[in-house]
A = this chain, B = another copy of it.
Amino acid sequence: MRGYKKPTVSIIGASGYSGAELTKILLRHPSVKLENLYAHTQAGKKVSDIYPEIDTDMVYAPYEGDVNTDIFFLALPHGEAHTIVPELAGSGKLVIDLSGDFRLKNTQEHLQYYGKEKDPKAVLTYALPELFHEEIRQAKAVSNPGCYATAITLGIAPLVLAPLKDAGVKQVNCTAVSGISGAGRTAKVELSYSEMNNNVRAYKAGLHQHTPEILQALGTDSINPAFGFMFTPMIAPLVRGIYTVLNIQLEKHLPVSQIRAHFSDFYRSAPFLRIRETMTEVRHVTYTNFCDVHVAESAKNGSTVIVTAIDNLVKGAAGQAVQNMNIMLGYDETHGLLL
């Protein structure tokens, strides 16, 4: 890339866990220059005051406009990206938004799951690269998927989007374990070490906001779904990771080997998707951008078990966002993401 001036990137909402992970990845990315770190509540503090493991002298600043940056990552809480994204996109910047504000096309679902009205036009390209690579390549602004949505959608998509003959999907029951960092860098009694050590807690069974996101990515919706869908997330005593057990009811039995072969074929061009022949574990993907998928079992009545694992802060947030940036810039998808 001799003679090539590196594009500049900045992060708005840089001081949370996703923002910090983005900071780490972008600092070592060979082909972009990390320009500014914006964080309202931490403005004026050094990055290394909050994250001493990040070796940089950069200082958080309040965002008040920025003409020098080419590409913006937004890692703001849900609801806060709403007005900034259109402004940035309108001024010709590339935008990758990690919030839920621009994921759902259906305003009724957005209202139901996020509790807020939304502009029907406030929808960006849904940037799950393993499914929508070409759309992302052409987009100027994209919406980065949720962590659960990434791990679950990738474990179901081959059976829904490329169904095998007579083996349509009738019902999907998803149970997922999330690391506690998924709740963000926040002060809550119920997230304290004393409360979560040796604990497990489910929440929002059937009601989690990633439910309509997953169904939309699979070509249907939560109001009139093409197949039954139930998702129950839980948190357990780990920091990073999403681990999903997907019970998929097919119309007929398919042998595990056939499903594995179908997955391998479906994802043959996806460098971060690993079809594992043995059981996957969270530790296999921690600190990586991989999504591991293991087809575990299929019963005579078509009941099929698929297990997936990602790092919620990497493939479930910052890593996937950089993967999307690579695609948007025409770089190799894995550029700066393989350690």
Which residue numbers of A lie inside 8 Å of B, CB to CB?
A: 17, 24, 27-28, 52-53, 55, 171, 173, 175, 177, 179-181, 183, 185-189, 191-203, 205-207, 228, 230, 232, 234, 236-241, 243, 245, 247, 249, 276, 279-288, 290, 292, 296-297, 299, 301, 303, 305, 307, 309, 338-339
Contacts and interface: CB of A to CB of B under 8 A. Distances in A.
A296 B206 contact: yes
A198 B282 contact: yes
B236 A200 contact: yes
Given A238-B237, A339-B24, A201 B305 contact: no
A288 to B, nearest CB: 6
Closest 8 CB pairs of A and B: A206-B297, A52-B284, A173-B247, A205-B296, A175-B175, A193-B196, A200-B243, A201-B281
29 contacts: A27-B339, A28-B339, A52-B284, A53-B283, A53-B286, A53-B288, A55-B288, A55-B290, A175-B245, A177-B200, A179-B198, A180-B192, A180-B193, A180-B194, A193-B239, A198-B239, A198-B283, A198-B286, A199-B283, A200-B309, A202-B279, A203-B279, A205-B296, A206-B297, A228-B299, A230-B247, A232-B297, A234-B245, A236-B238
Contacts of A338: 55
Contacts of A299: 206, 228, 230
Contact of A200 (B181, B228, B241): B241
B194 A197 contact: no
B185 A187 contact: no
Given A198-B240, A200-B238, 9 more contacts: A55-B338, A181-B194, A193-B196, A197-B239, A198-B286, A202-B279, A206-B297, A230-B299, A237-B238
A285 B53 contact: yes
B285 A201 contact: no
A72 B314 CA distance: 33
A236 to B, nearest CB: 4
B301 A228 contact: yes
Q: Chain B CB within 10 Å — which of A197, A288, A290, A338 has the most?
A: A197
